[in-house]
Amino acid sequence: MNVSFQLYSARNFTPWDTVLQHLANLGYTQVEGFGAAYEDAAAFKGLLDKHGLTMPSGHFFPLEQFEDDFAGVLETARTLGMNRLFCPALPPEQRVADPAAWVSVGHRLEEIGNRVRDAGLRFGWHNHDFEFAACTDGRLPMDILLESAPSIEWEADIAWIVRGGQDPIQWIDRYAARITAAHVKDIAPEDECIDEDGWADVGYGVMDWKTLTATLRGIGVDLFIMEHDNPSDFERFASRSIETFQRF
């Protein structure tokens, strides 16, 4: 199976030409974009082509990009060859406990998703942990978003689900029809990898990725993206993670 790599994980190890060459040498065939890759989309597409990589998916933040510069988002996506666009977060000040606020965000996501699909592309949400902090009525924002935006996809970041205090298998089962892509990253044992914000290379932490991968494949997930939010050594993380994942 082709393995993708979230370029955010390598943001501190540029130039991008060197990063992409290293990923290709390790056996990665795909990458997932984020803002820094979009500054000169045509030039970045040239680097992808040079190293035999594709970018089937990308993160676009903030959400307002889709509302204020929809044509620009589409142009970037098409230039880089994407077919799946994900909104990855809300800014901290919008992560509130008011359920009505989350319903409003869900309605905005649904409208954006309709526009993106009308343009021939796919659209979804990418979670962190704040979507699993209960609202004042006891509901979780993740449930509210998916209920209020019934047509969008979910790129499930499994480790963030765990950091949100939840059982990822239960969430995978509950939203099997909605999860179409997954971020693959690991959580270090307690008090380890402090300099890396407690994250670990895939296979070197506490996550049961063998079981999780089988479960996700079982519901039809076909896009797996390696990610580490703050690696101290990008090459180590990229190498260890693809080696681990290719054994599953």
Question: Which residues lie below 8 Å from residue 234, measured CB to CB, with a gap of 6+?
Answer: 9, 10, 12, 13, 19, 22
The range of the structural domain enclosing residue 219 comes to: 4-245
Question: Which residues lie below 8 Å from residue 223, measured CB to CB, with a gap of 6+?
Answer: 4, 30, 56, 57, 84, 155, 180, 181, 182
Answer whether residue 113 shows pLDDT above 90.
Answer: yes
| Number of structural domains in the chain | 1
Burial of residue 227, with CB atoms counted within 10 A of its CB: 0-12 exposed, 13-18 middle, 19 or more buried: buried
pTM of the entire structure? Answer: 0.97
**Cβ atoms 56, 83 nearer than 8 A:** yes
The reported pLDDT for the residue numbered 66 is 98
- Helix, strand or coil for residue 92? helix
Q: What gap in Å lies between CA 28 and CA 9, rounded to an integer?
A: 14
Answer whether residue 2 shows pLDDT above 80.
Answer: no
- Per-residue pLDDT of 150-175, as tens digits, reads 999 999 999 999 999 999 999 999 99
- Per-residue pLDDT of 10-33, as tens digits, reads 999 999 999 999 999 999 999 999
- Per-residue pLDDT of 125-151, as tens digits, reads 999 999 999 999 999 999 999 999 999
The reported pLDDT for the residue numbered 182 is 98
Query: Strands, E, within 34-142: which ranges?
Result: 54-59, 84-87, 122-126
Q: What gap in Å lies between CA 112 and CA 159, rounded to an integer?
A: 26
- Spatial CA neighbour of 126 closest among 179, 185, 196: 179
Q: What gap in Å lies between CA 115 and CA 101, rounded to an integer?
A: 22
CATH of the domain at 56: 3.20.20.150
- Helix, strand or coil for residue 108? helix
How large a percentage of the chain has pLDDT more than 70? 100
Q: What gap in Å lies between CA 57 and CA 157, rounded to an integer?
A: 14
- Per-residue pLDDT of 186-211, as tens digits, reads 999 999 999 999 999 999 999 999 99
The reported pLDDT for the residue numbered 1 is 67
- Average pLDDT taken over every residue of the chain: 97
